[in-house]
């Protein structure tokens, strides 16, 4: 039965699709797009919004194409007068409870509701709009919810529950009073939310956005007392171009650096450098744990969403987390200690801006237990989207900018640092250096088994005579499955990499919006990741320990991996939280 093909007609075109396909999928094979608002591939499929309705011959009423399975001999019409009228009315009803302040809305021009409203020529004032009904929840450091723009498609609820196994948001009440929120209509800041932002990138409208910190950065740039430095995470160069109309997977590293430099008198550093630094510390920590009977398996700690998840849901598991700070926090610590001392700068006057693909990092910069002085080591964490917004506001023609290099002394990084932005990348980078530490003559470089967008990957490597069993998971539902397997004794690993967002940072909650018309049809994760692996392949230095910047940092400041001074600046304890 599995491979049975079903034959049907869509708008008179013969289509052949596997049994179990939906009408929406079948239509796509005939190059017919059926619009939808609640459907999002791999995330949400509930037939709730009624925008995808179609006519089926000999069937009464209209059917929701996103959930309706194909049948042999079926005849579907996707563009009849009845279908168009129904979709238009549905959109007009949605607009009756929608805050239509499109002019300044963050999603204007890529809002799925706006696009469909335009395509269907709706009358946005057909039904009386009661206006503001809900308070905006901007209590958390990472996500802002404006339910006055929400259309109750429940994509965010599905992302939180299905991808992340968290479900800290859900539908509340019923009928006209239905809205999305936390238990007891509480504040998001008090909920066991990890801030991953997968709800934001799933949202078809402007109901969910990151907490915008761009003004803080403009203020710092304008402040003559402040010296402003930026650094950009590995995956930002692989996605920023999308915000300026470039195809998915375009590496815009040079233009990104040039764009930031033109925002004001700022320096631009490469965060791949502290990805390398993380590997120096983490690979050594792993070997130390393996050789000296430490807590195993060791879990990576680069991903703030995963760390917060572990703190909320598996507090007893925290000793398994590497004590290494994330590359963002390491960079902050390096800048406010080593860099300030070397350049005679008061750390209070150095304003550090990280550009990251992540909303959870906005929480991470506020962690008091990670401070190295009486100040946050990173002052502001901007998402890829916020950086794009700043570049637009600065009036820069991004695509015409020259390609420029990062600033000294944090410009050179290795391929190992570059692949940090994709699931499996941290694991592979760590294995490259760990293998070298165990056997200096090793040729081991590419660990392809841990690559790819699969949710859970496993491999066993023998490096320097030591057998290392590893696992890689992305998406917190997969992380939960791995932790449960380990707790129950079903699995036994030495090293596990977790990234909260499916596919890793390249699919992070702070990455440029891609509407359903893109997300339903291409694998964003794979295409964006390819840009990073291509970069890795191109680089001469591909192992973190080969980086000259590592020699500089350890030679001048940190002495050696896991030294006392390295621990002071680059490692951290964690916080037990409840849920």
Partner 1 sequence: MSEKTLIPFKGTPEQEAELMKVIEAHRDQPGGLMPTLQEAQGIYGYLPVEVQKMIADGLGVSLSEVFGVATFYSQFSLTPKGEHRISVCLGTACYVKGSDKILEAVENKLGIKSGQCTLDGKFSIDACRCVGACGLAPVMTIDDDVYGKITPDQVGKILDSYSKGGADK
Annotation says 282 is catalytic: yes
Does residue 484 touch partner 1 according to CB under 8 A?
no
| The one segment of 173-181, 287-295, 389-397, 481-489 that binds partner 1 by CB under 8 A | 173-181
Q: Which of 101, 173, 393, 576 binds partner 1 (CB under 8 A)?
A: 173
Q: Which of 361, 362, 457, 525 is catalytic?
A: 361
Does residue 184 touch partner 1 according to CB under 8 A?
yes
Burial of 185-207, coded b for 16+ CB within 10 Å and e otherwise, reads eeebbebbbbbbbbbbbbbbbbb
Does residue 168 touch partner 1 according to CB under 8 A?
yes
Annotation says 364 is catalytic: yes
Smallest distance, Å, CB 174 to partner 1?
5
Q: Which of 282, 428, 497, 546 is catalytic?
A: 282
Does residue 133 touch partner 1 according to CB under 8 A?
no
Which are the contacts of 422, defined by CB distance < 8 A and separation ≥ 6?
235, 451, 503, 504, 505, 506, 525, 528, 529, 532, 533
Q: Residue 186 or residue 319: which is nearer to partner 1 going by CB?
A: 186
Does residue 182 touch partner 1 according to CB under 8 A?
yes
Does residue 185 touch partner 1 according to CB under 8 A?
yes
- φ, ψ for residue 195, nearest 5 deg: 75, 20
| The one segment of 116-124, 174-182, 198-206, 320-328 that binds partner 1 by CB under 8 A | 174-182
Count of residues touching partner 1 (by CB under 8 A) = 18
Helix axes 214-222, 384-393, angle to 10 degrees: 50
* Per-residue tokens: 53: 């309705």
The residues that bridge with 305 in the sheet, in sequence order, are none
Q: Residue 12 or residue 175: which is nearer to partner 1 going by CB?
A: 175
Does residue 174 touch partner 1 according to CB under 8 A?
yes
Does residue 48 touch partner 1 according to CB under 8 A?
no
Smallest distance, Å, CB 312 to partner 1?
11
Q: Which of 96, 115, 120, 170 binds partner 1 (CB under 8 A)?
A: 170
Smallest distance, Å, CB 171 to partner 1?
5
Smallest distance, Å, CB 100 to partner 1?
23
Helices marked H in 314-456 — which ranges?
327-334, 340-343, 361-364, 384-393, 415-418, 425-438
- φ, ψ for residue 350, nearest 5 deg: -90, 125
How does strand 13-18 pair with strand 5-10?
Answer: antiparallel
Does residue 166 touch partner 1 according to CB under 8 A?
yes
Helix (H) and strand (E) counts for the chain? 21, 17
Q: Which of 302, 310, 324, 340 is catalytic?
A: 302
The beta-carbon contacts of 178-187 under 8 Å, at least 24 apart in sequence, are: 178/152, 179/134, 179/147, 179/150, 179/152, 180/145, 180/147, 180/150, 180/152, 180/154, 180/156, 180/207, 181/137, 181/145, 181/147, 187/137, 187/139, 187/140
Smallest distance, Å, CB 25 to partner 1?
27
How does strand 298-299 pair with strand 495-499?
Answer: parallel
Q: Residue 182 or residue 203: which is nearer to partner 1 going by CB?
A: 182
Does residue 24 touch partner 1 according to CB under 8 A?
no
DSSP 445-469: ---GGG-SS-SEEEEEEEETTEEEE
Annotation says 235 is catalytic: no
- Residue ranges with strand state E in 190-335: 208-210, 227-232, 266-270, 298-299
Q: Residue 3 or residue 177: which is nearer to partner 1 going by CB?
A: 177
| The one segment of 54-62, 90-98, 165-173, 459-467 that binds partner 1 by CB under 8 A | 165-173
What distance lies between CA 259 and its chain's CA centroid?
A: 22
Annotation says 156 is catalytic: no
Q: 43 with 162: CB under 8 angstroms?
A: yes
Q: Which of 5, 82, 183, 518 binds partner 1 (CB under 8 A)?
A: 183
| The one segment of 183-191, 233-241, 396-404, 560-568 that binds partner 1 by CB under 8 A | 183-191
Does residue 318 touch partner 1 according to CB under 8 A?
no
Q: Residue 179 or residue 226: which is nearer to partner 1 going by CB?
A: 179
Q: Which of 117, 235, 301, 322 is catalytic?
A: 322
Smallest distance, Å, CB 177 to partner 1?
9
Q: 166 with 160: CB under 8 angstroms?
A: yes
The burial class, CB within 10 Å (0-12 / 13-18 / 19+), for 427 is buried
Annotation says 322 is catalytic: yes
- φ, ψ for residue 508, nearest 5 deg: -70, 165
- Alpha-carbon distance of 565 to 254, in angstroms, equals 34
Contacts of partner 1 in 143-162 (CB under 8 A): 161
Smallest distance, Å, CB 51 to partner 1?
23
Annotation says 302 is catalytic: yes
Q: Report the chain's C-alpha Rg in angstroms.
A: 25
Smallest distance, Å, CB 362 to partner 1?
22
Does residue 280 touch partner 1 according to CB under 8 A?
no
Does residue 169 touch partner 1 according to CB under 8 A?
yes
Q: 468 with 290: CB under 8 angstroms?
A: yes
| The one segment of 22-30, 171-179, 470-478, 503-511 that binds partner 1 by CB under 8 A | 171-179
The residues that bridge with 22 in the sheet, in sequence order, are 69
* Catalytic center residues: 282, 285, 302, 322, 361, 364, 369, 505
Question: Which parts of this chain interact with partner 1 (CB under 8 A)?
Answer: 135, 161, 166-174, 181-186, 191
């Amino acid at each position: 039965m599995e491979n049975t093909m079903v034959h049907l007609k869509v708008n008179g075109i013969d289509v052949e699709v596997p049994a179990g396909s939906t009408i929406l999928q079948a239509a796509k094979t005939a190059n017919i797009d059926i619009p939808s608002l609640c459907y999002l591939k791999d995330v949400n499929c509930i037939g709730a919004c009624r925008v995808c309705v179609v006519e089926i011959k000999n069937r009464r009423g209209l059917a929701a194409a996103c959930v309706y399975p194909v049948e042999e001999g079926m005849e579907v019409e996707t563009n009849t007068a009845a279908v168009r009228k129904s979709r238009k009315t549905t959109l007009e009803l949605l607009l009756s409870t929608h805050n239509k302040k499109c002019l300044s809305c963050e999603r204007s021009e890529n809002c799925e509701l706006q696009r469909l409203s335009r395509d269907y020529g709706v009358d946005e004032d057909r039904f009386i709009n009661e206006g503001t009904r809900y308070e905006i929840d901007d209590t958390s450091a990472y996500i802002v919810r404006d339910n006055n723009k929400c259309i109750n498609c429940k994509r965010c609820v599905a992302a939180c529950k299905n991808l992340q196994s968290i479900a800290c948001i859900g539908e509340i009440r019923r009928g006209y009073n239905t809205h999305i929120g936390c238990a007891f209509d509480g504040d998001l800041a008090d909920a066991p939310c990890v801030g991953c932002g997968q709800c934001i990138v799933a949202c078809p409208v402007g109901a969910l956005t990151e907490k915008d910190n761009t003004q803080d950065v403009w203020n710092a740039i304008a402040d003559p007392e402040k010296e402003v430095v930026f650094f950009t995470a590995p995956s930002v160069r692989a996605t920023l171009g999308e915000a300026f109309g470039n195809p998915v997977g375009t590496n815009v590293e040079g233009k990104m650096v040039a764009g930031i430099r033109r925002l004001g008198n700022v320096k631009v550093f490469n965060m791949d450098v502290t990805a390398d630094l993380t590997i120096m510390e983490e690979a050594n920590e792993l070997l130390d744990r393996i050789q000296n009977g430490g807590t195993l398996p060791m879990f990576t700690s680069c991903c703030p969403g995963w760390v917060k998840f572990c703190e909320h849901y598996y507090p007893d598991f925290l000793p398994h987390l590497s004590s290494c700070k994330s590359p963002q926090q390491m960079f902050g610590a390096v800048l406010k200690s080593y860099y300030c001392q070397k350049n005679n700068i008061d750390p209070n006057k150095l304003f550090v801006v990280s550009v990251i693909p992540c909303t959870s990092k906005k929480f991470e910069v506020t962690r008091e237990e990670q401070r190295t002085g009486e100040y946050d080591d990173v002052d502001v964490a901007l998402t890829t989207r916020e950086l794009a917004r700043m570049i637009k506001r600065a009036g820069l023609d991004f695509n015409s900018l020259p390609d420029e290099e990062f600033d000294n002394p944090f410009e050179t990084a290795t391929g190992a640092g570059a692949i940090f932005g994709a699931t499996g990348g941290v694991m592979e980078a760590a294995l490259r250096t760990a293998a070298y530490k165990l056997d200096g003559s090793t040729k081991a470089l590419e660990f392809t088994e841990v690559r790819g967008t699969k949710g859970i990957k496993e491999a066993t490597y023998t490096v320097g005579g030591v057998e290392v069993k590893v696992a890689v998971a992305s998406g917190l539902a997969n992380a939960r499955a791995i932790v449960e397997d380990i707790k129950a004794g079903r699995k036994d690993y030495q090293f596990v990499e977790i990234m909260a967002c499916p596919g890793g940072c390249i699919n992070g909650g702070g990455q440029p919006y891609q509407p359903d018309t893109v997300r339903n049809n291409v694998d964003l994760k794979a295409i964006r990741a390819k840009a990073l692996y291509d970069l890795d392949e191109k680089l001469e230095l591909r192992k973190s320990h080969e980086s000259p910047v590592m020699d500089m940092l350890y030679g001048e400041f940190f002495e050696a991996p896991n030294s006392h001074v390295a621990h002071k600046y680059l490692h951290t304890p964690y916080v037990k939280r409840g849920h």
